[in-house]
Amino acid sequence: MKLHALTRLLFVTLLLNITIPTSFVSSEAAAVPSNRVLPSSSTANHSDTAAAVHETAAAQETTAAQETANANETTAAPRRSAAISWVTLERNYPGVFVTHGPRGKRKAALTFDDVPDPRYTGKVLDVLARYHVQATFFVLGSLAARHPALVKRMQREGHTVGNHSYNHALFSQLSQEQFRRQIVRTDAVLTPLIGYSPRFIRPPYGEVRPKQLQWARRNGYIVVNWDVDSVDWRSLRSRTVILNIRKTIQPGSIILQHAGGGPTQDLSGTVEALPRIIRLLQSKGYELVTVPELLGASPER
Ligand SMILES: [Zn+2]
């Protein structure tokens, strides 16, 4: 499951020669043109999906791609590209690169990327408050600078704030210095807002290189991806978001969702699904916790 987005991203990156560091594909996967069928790694079984590519920093839409995601549900193909699999990264960087928590306890973590976004983040926070559930938000520095009150609210309401880069850069295409600047610059925005330097980094698209993990380890960061992908960035209906989570959840899971995105992205399915996801998981005996709680680590660096 976790390889799907990566494989798809690599495929699309190669296919379209996307230069992503300056643009923002608002998902952890990537936009696909309408006439393409996703590679065999696709998780898609929906036909009503859309993806948007936009500039975050400039908030300027560049392109939007409608996707005929009629690919069938298949298993992930092995990654044959130069990129290193998450399994290998987890093995080589234990405690520094993680995709889930301990499997022995019935706990799971809700995570929301591409925030803050005034259209959706407040609504997600409202639902979490109503159910007294704490989650983890992976914040973009550029958006935090524009909507600081939403970041402060996350902190005030007991959620964990993590670093999702400054402008949704694709780390695997950055120099080490460019990568470092994405993290440090975001850190400089977040620290005064929340009172600590976030320990957790979620790489956009889940893509990270070994050298970057070495830097993360030296500097006290933990890079956290996911093992459950709601695929909600595709503007899915709530029932599909719920299904995507329900079919892959297991003890220790880290669930990827979005509470922000590009101008053409509709995350109302995510907002609508959230109360039902919380009730569903709790009815199955899951305790919903933040990523630091799940991993037994401090949210602060
Ligand atoms: Zn993202």
pLDDT score of 16: 34
Distance CA 228, CA 109 (A): 10
- Domain CATH number, residue 129: 3.20.20.370
* Residue 118, C-beta contacts closer than 8 angstroms, at least 6 positions apart: 147, 150
Q: What is the mean pLDDT of the chain?
A: 80
Domain co-membership, 27 together with 106: no
Mean pLDDT of 68-84: 40
Mean pLDDT of 287-291: 98
| Single residue among 12, 37, 67 that ends a domain in this structure | 67
Domain co-membership, 161 together with 32: no
Domain count, the chain: 2
Percent of the chain at pLDDT exceeding 90: 71
Mean pLDDT of 235-241: 93
Task: Give pLDDT tens digits for 87-145.
Answer: 999 999 999 999 999 999 999 999 999 999 999 999 999 999 999 999 999 999 999 99
pLDDT score of 82: 54
Rounded to 5 degrees, φ, ψ at 113 are -105, 170
- Residues 245 and 252: beta-carbon distance below 8 Å: no
Q: What DSSP string describes 144-200?
A: HHH-HHHHHHHHHTT-EEEE--SS---GGGS-HHHHHHHHHHHHHHHHHHHSS-B-E
In a domain, 300, yes or no: no
| Single residue among 67, 97, 122 that ends a domain in this structure | 67
pLDDT score of 28: 65
Helices (H) and strands (E) in the chain, counts: 10, 12
Domain co-membership, 137 together with 255: yes
Q: Select which of 100, 147, 159, 258 is catalytic.
A: 258
User: Residue 184, Cα to own-chain centre: how many angstroms?
Assistant: 19
Give me the residues paired with residue 61 across strands. 54
Q: Which of these ranges, 82-86, 163-167, 247-251, has the smallest mean pLDDT?
A: 82-86
Q: Select which of 4, 46, 54, 113 is catalytic.
A: 113
Indicate if the pLDDT at residue 71 is higher than 70: no
Between the CA of 37 and the centroid of ligand 1 the distance, in Å, is: 22
Indicate if the pLDDT at residue 10 is higher than 80: no
| Single residue among 34, 67, 100 that ends a domain in this structure | 67
pLDDT score of 274: 97
Domain co-membership, 18 together with 156: no
Domain co-membership, 130 together with 32: no
In a domain, 233, yes or no: yes
Mean pLDDT of 233-257: 95
Indicate if the pLDDT at residue 234 is higher than 80: yes
pLDDT score of 13: 39
Domain co-membership, 160 together with 235: yes
Domain co-membership, 32 together with 110: no
In a domain, 76, yes or no: no
Between the CA of 201 and the centroid of ligand 1 the distance, in Å, is: 11
Q: What DSSP string describes 122-159?
A: HHHHHHHHHHT---EEEE-HHHHHH-HHHHHHHHHTT-
Between the CA of 30 and the centroid of ligand 1 the distance, in Å, is: 10
Between the CA of 114 and the centroid of ligand 1 the distance, in Å, is: 5
pLDDT score of 114: 97
User: Residue 165, Cα to own-chain centre: how many angstroms?
Assistant: 11
Q: What range does the domain containing 203 cover?
A: 86-295
| Residue (of 223, 221, 199) closest to 86 by Cα position | 223
Task: Give pLDDT tens digits for 189-218.
Answer: 999 999 999 999 999 999 999 999 999 999
In a domain, 192, yes or no: yes
The pairs formed by 212-221 with CB atoms below 8 angstroms and a separation of 24 or more are 212/171, 212/176, 212/179, 213/89, 213/93, 213/96, 213/97, 215/176, 215/179, 215/180, 216/96, 217/93, 217/96, 219/301, 220/301, 221/96, 221/163, 221/183, 221/301
Cα separation values, 52 from 25, 34, 44, 238, Å: 6, 12, 16, 19
* Helix then strand then coil, % of the chain, to nearest 5: 40, 20, 45
In a domain, 78, yes or no: no
Between the CA of 104 and the centroid of ligand 1 the distance, in Å, is: 29
Predicted confidence band of residue 84 (pLDDT cuts 50, 70, 90): confident
* Residue 179, C-beta contacts closer than 8 angstroms, at least 6 positions apart: 169, 171, 212, 215
Between the CA of 113 and the centroid of ligand 1 the distance, in Å, is: 5
* Residue 78, C-beta contacts closer than 8 angstroms, at least 6 positions apart: none
In a domain, 176, yes or no: yes
In a domain, 77, yes or no: no
Indicate if the pLDDT at residue 23 is higher than 90: no
Domain co-membership, 186 together with 275: yes
DSSP-derived 3-state class of residue 63: strand
- Residues 31 and 38: beta-carbon distance below 8 Å: no
In a domain, 72, yes or no: no
Domain co-membership, 103 together with 220: yes
Between the CA of 5 and the centroid of ligand 1 the distance, in Å, is: 12
Domain co-membership, 189 together with 281: yes
In the chain, the amino acid numbered 287 is E
Indicate if the pLDDT at residue 282 is higher than 70: yes
Domain co-membership, 17 together with 107: no
Task: Give pLDDT tens digits for 144-193.
Answer: 999 999 999 999 999 999 999 999 999 999 999 999 999 999 999 999 99
pLDDT score of 52: 32
Domain co-membership, 99 together with 61: no
Indicate if the pLDDT at residue 294 is higher than 70: yes
258 part of the active site: yes
